[in-house]
Chains A and B, each alone.
Chain A
């Protein structure tokens, strides 16, 4: 203990103390943080009746008892099953409280309940359905045909999506607190549904604009990006000059200052 006490004014003591503190808080957080629930693999069974019950219990306070919409929530007539599957399936709905944007969140319902809710909302009026798995399965890079399709998906992504979602799909800011979320790790089905339904601030990319094959190419491009080797080193969130500049100012200048102090200090 004496050796420790004697070194408490060592220049590295503060840095070491901060590091230990960060490790302890980080470790404690990962230990107590809520874990993702495991989704069951069985095919969901949908029932309009059950969906209506769920709707009245969880959604009607904002969307109205007949889903006709109120001052606090839009009408759901004609939004289709795809909108429900996206909003509820990503945990955006039900919203905890009114806000400028519903963030991605822990999913509150199981697959059967989501399917029932979707079936009920789809029964209110025609709208886009949950997409066919044929188009939500990302194409595997490797064959020349698939590589070509993925490259085309990249071009479509850069023209139609990158202005909000960032060139690397990292997301970005919109006006007045709204934002385009990052796309990494999003279920291909949910990416497809977002394009068809245009949730929240996002415009609609209907099948008459981007046909299902084009949507599949975009999804394949995003998934290929996730698997791609990162030859450029740390991405720093792919946010460009903001995060890179901050890193350079804080860490690079810190190292330079440390080096200057060491160079100027007389040896013991």
Chain B
């Protein structure tokens, strides 16, 4: 119940000795350390029902056999279903909706088949196989002194017969060959870490040199049709690709690489809502275009909220304020989205005359800021 009682009834055969200055006393067995504990040994073995009652053993045997039989039925059901159910057959399964009958039946029957093999095996082991506790002592890990001496003799004999100790030329040339062999292995790993030049990261399909220096039209993605200024109505969002992407599409080459850097979002705001003069100047009548690639880790920032003029990145919730030149107002992004300068060409279509003024997308080592 409490400390007094414990100390008042010491273990038989132990003497009480003073422990420390505070007058407490401990049994001698505790004071002397754990060595003096006696190994309590294993608890007495408890027999299972199947060990002592033949009827219970028979019942367990039947249970295991039943599980194996269910497994067999599952396997047979699989074979039957494989041939009997048409590929296109469907049925309504709660939680799934319209499900493919063959998928569900094949999966279930195969699952039942293997599950009941396992359940049967475990039940067999637990009820019928021996469960007597056995103690196996560890053997000594070291080999005998004779075999250790033999091993040393074999190695030193081998070294003597190669003559390495007597012929230093062989020793050093072998060392050089093995050492140099590591170089090609290391070189290909280091050499494949990436291009040393980063010019590609600063280029996009919006650069005028991709169009012989001519301004590049803004095209609807995925239709690739040009956009007239008056088609961009108030509150509209256009997802835009450069006219120059069409070359890649026609040649079926580097389409995704091109898209990955060139994606642009085009939005019309009330010009009075835009608070930054540069953002107004780079747009036309409140129509502004910004890179859609997040400056954090490069997800597509496409979630535009018409009322708040916020652009939200779905990956890490970086939020950009369109009215403040896409300044970051929330989240892990550190830089505003780069704006694409747009004007209108002779035919009234929106064009980008200069490309992006800075590298789009996430920061990289050589970006300077």
Interface residues of chain A, those whose CB is within 8 Å of chain B, are 155-156, 159-160, 163-164, 172, 174-175, 178, 180, 198, 200-206, 208-209, 214, 227-231, 233-235, 262-263, 266-268
Contact = CB atoms under 8 A, between A and B. Distances in A.
Contacts of A180: 303
Contacts of A266: 46, 48, 126, 131
Dominant SS among interface residues on chain A: loop
A235 to B, nearest CB: 7
B97 A230 contact: yes
Contact of A205 (B98, B103, B236): B236
A172 B99 contact: no
B222 A155 contact: yes
Contact of A229 (B48, B50, B90, B220): B90
A175 B99 contact: no
Nearest to B310: A175
B122 interface: yes
B348 interface: no
Contacts of A228: 98
B302 interface: yes
Contact of A208 (B99, B231, B307): B231
Contacts of B95: 234
20 contacts: A159-B222, A163-B300, A163-B314, A174-B312, A175-B308, A175-B310, A175-B330, A198-B306, A200-B307, A201-B306, A203-B236, A204-B236, A208-B236, A228-B98, A229-B99, A230-B100, A233-B99, A234-B96, A267-B126, A267-B131
Contacts of B96: 230, 233-235
B240 to A, nearest CB: 10
Given A203-B235, A209-B231, A268-B49, A263 B303 contact: no
A236 B304 CA distance: 26
Nearest to B118: A259
Contacts of A263: 122
A256 B336 CA distance: 47
Main secondary structure of the interface of B (DSSP, over half): mixed
Contacts of A198: 235-236, 306
B74 to A, nearest CB: 18
A174 B231 CA distance: 27
B267 interface: yes
Nearest to B292: A163
B305 A178 contact: yes
Contacts of B235: 198, 203-204
B122 to A, nearest CB: 6
B238 A209 contact: yes
A172 B236 contact: no
B48 A206 contact: no
Interface string B94-117: 011111100100000000000000
B50 A267 contact: yes
A164 B302 CA distance: 8
Contact of B100 (A164, A203, A231, A234): A231
A174 B265 CA distance: 17
Interface in B63-98: 90, 95-98
Contact of B267 (A163, A203, A231, A234): A203
Contact of B306 (A156, A202, A208): A202
B324 to A, nearest CB: 15
B127 interface: yes
B239 interface: yes
B14 interface: no
Contacts of B97: 230, 235
B246 interface: no
A156 B232 CA distance: 17
A206 B227 CA distance: 13
Contacts of B103: 231, 233
Given A156-B222, A174-B305, A268-B48, A204 B234 contact: yes
